Chains A and B, each alone.
Chain A
Amino acid sequence: MIRAHSLTIERTGRRLIDTVSLTLRPGEVTVVIGPNGAGKSTLMKALSGEIALTAGHVRYDGIDVSLLDPRKLAACRAVLPQASELAFPFSALEIVRMGAVARGALDPAAEARRALARVGLAGFEGRPYPSLSGGEQQRVQFARALAQVPNPEEGGRPRALFLDEPTASLDLGHQISVLEIAAGFARGGGAVLAILHDLNLAAEFADQVVVLSRGKVVAEGPAADTLSDTVVADVYGIAGAVGRMPAAHIPFVLPQSRHRASL
């Protein structure tokens, strides 16, 4: 279990994250939403142990994150970063293999192949990473994260997946598949934290939605409670956008122009 308590991060005098408390429970998908600059990526960096905290603490199974060395952290959680460019032409397999090596896999190449197949990229092993499309690159990176934590839990200890905008450059079908894999990871007993911009995907896949605005949590809980007209209006400044699917009671958001809304 990963628990953050009154987490605060300040950089150059600005408070990026303001006393945020958050628990990532095994078996749950936690989705962070919020406008640009709300501090979503910073929050994820703090939870993954990447940046130092100004105040508060982050604990992995009760152990403070600053006490865990990079190697131990790597065994607990894997991170999918936002898109990145490479100066050297690694093959897709070689990228994913690094994730398996980080885990200490006995046959990293075989595990890398398996991870690539999971994200639907079997047959892409030998392709140079720079020659792949943006969406394919993102799925290779996702496979790398999966290769690092292939099992949602090991020896009774849950693993965590941190996904920073995992659907950013994917087509509709692959957006769903990536989040289905993440949801499957949670069902297997792992913890998932994802930053999403698409509120409908958030509503569909989140067990817990955290709405972040200006570094503060403004709403938290199941999508049905958090994705309301008031929250969307407060955070994004667009009114009257949330509807309900009659059957499943899943909220859906149809963004409209502010001019139309004000009529």
Chain B
Amino acid sequence: MKSLTLPFHFGEDNGDRSRQGVIMLVVLTLLLVVACLISLGSGPTGADLGHLWLYLTGRSAELAVQERVVLEAVRLPRTALGVLVGAGLGVSGAMMQGLFRNPLADPGIVGVTSGAALFAVAGIVLGSTVLAPVSLLLGSHFLPLMAFLGGLLNTWVLYLIATRDGETSTSKLILSGIAVGALSLAAMGLLIFMAYDRQLRDITFWNLGSLGGATFTRVISILPFVVVVTGIIPFVARGLDALILGDAAAFHMGIPVQRLKRLVILAVAAACGATVAVAGSIGFVGIVVPHLLRLVIGPSHRFLLPGSAIGGAALLLIADSVARTIVSPAELPIGIITALFGAPVFLMLLLGRKGGAGMGGL
């Protein structure tokens, strides 16, 4: 555990936490590898870590057909989907908090996820009628794109309401987030009212959140979104850091503020929309991971953003493994697990915010 305790020392006198950042990224990557193995090796059916070992070392011929099918057709896509969804949730949370200069801003809490879910449901219900041509044209990317548009709409509306002269008011953000979220849910209710039975089953899934039913088609449908959003990290990290000092200060330091904000809003909506489209609304990952990271490596986005992506992926895989095994052979919705540890962290954050500075120590 030496590598985990080390970072706390450096921060005291020297103020440069780049080293902690690098160490943290390495630690998180190792954690993600472990989480992948756990996710691949756990589940109600036969295949376990021993079988996985055989499979990974190229001796899949020694496996029974059933075990190989479970590994290839169930576990592998599910783990891949978990990595992408977790990374998307982590990054979108961290980016949104930077954009709003507020550690409480999370797509799930401020109604962006609801907007994405609303448009995804609209995609399901209207996809066979009004939007049929678009749906056919886009294929498996149709739902993620719809969810992206919904997330974009709500992020934009929120930004317009809660931000005046570059300053975001926390209470306005949270309250308008609740309003925007409620409005989205109401519209969703209307669509559900219109839906057929078969569509209803698809829709119920959005409210619970799950990695169940993962297929390689779904993995591929959100892959471009997550790749693009994680790909822009190096281009927005410096700007988001500067933005914490205020719009004016960021501009003085050479950041094209409006362009940066538009890019980040697009990225948040894309990451959020993509994850909602394939896994429903999974809460709190985007708030817990960045918060814990800030406690160790500080708020600099150079390390916070990649760390949130890797950490989010690891956390979601572990949560999913728990969800799959704890009541095996049945399966708990993953949203329950993430809420169980996420809600207390959220409360801690809320209570610790006295005078704007209470974010825990360095």
Contact = CB atoms under 8 A, between A and B. Distances in A.
Interface of A: 45, 48, 50, 69-75, 77-79, 81, 84-95, 97-99, 101-102, 109, 123-128, 130-131, 148
A-B interface, 8 closest residue pairs, ranked by CB to CB distance from nearest:
A74-B254, A93-B15, A125-B15, A130-B357, A88-B299, A102-B253, A126-B15, A91-B15
Contact of B254 (A50, A86, A102): A102
5 contacts: A50-B252, A70-B255, A91-B362, A94-B15, A109-B18
Contact of A90 (B103, B244, B254, B361): B244
Contacts of A102: 242, 253-254
B356 interface: yes
A95 B101 CA distance: 15
A71 B256 CA distance: 8
B253 A93 contact: no
B169 to A, nearest CB: 12
A81 B244 contact: no
A93 B14 contact: yes
Contact of A84 (B102, B249, B294): B249
Given A74-B253, A128-B362, A89 B298 contact: yes
Contact of A88 (B238, B256, B294, B361): B294
Nearest to A71: B254
A48 B103 contact: no
B246 interface: yes
A101 B238 contact: yes
Interface string B255-270: 1110000000000000
Contacts of B227: none
Contact of B298 (A50, A75, A94, A125): A94
Interface in B66-110: 101-103
B359 A89 contact: yes
Contacts of B14: 93, 125-126
B11 A86 contact: no
Contacts of A148: 252-253
A86 B238 CA distance: 16
B245 to A, nearest CB: 7
B254 A94 contact: no
Given A50-B252, A74-B254, A126-B11, A86 B103 contact: no
Given A81-B248, A84-B249, 13 more contacts: A50-B252, A79-B249, A81-B246, A89-B294, A90-B244, A90-B300, A94-B298, A98-B242, A98-B245, A102-B254, A109-B18, A126-B12, A127-B15
A75 B12 CA distance: 32
Nearest to B258: A70
A109 B356 CA distance: 27
B9 to A, nearest CB: 11
Interface string B226-255: 000000000000100110111011011111
B361 A89 contact: yes
Task: Tell me what chain B mostly uses at the interface: helix, strand, loop, or mixed.
Answer: loop
Given A91-B298, A102-B253, A126 B244 contact: no
Contacts of A130: 356-357, 359
A90 B298 contact: yes
Nearest to B247: A50
B16 A97 contact: yes
B13 interface: yes
A45 B248 CA distance: 9
B141 interface: no
B310 to A, nearest CB: 20
A48 B362 contact: no
Given A48-B252, A101-B238, A125-B16, A91 B11 contact: yes
Contacts of B360: 89
A69 B255 CA distance: 9
A85 B254 contact: no
A164 to B, nearest CB: 10
A88 B244 contact: yes
Contact of A109 (B16, B248, B251): B16
B218 interface: no
Nearest to B295: A89
A98 B248 contact: no
Nearest to A110: B16
B17 interface: yes
A99 B245 CA distance: 11
Nearest to B255: A70
A86 B245 contact: yes
B245 A93 contact: no
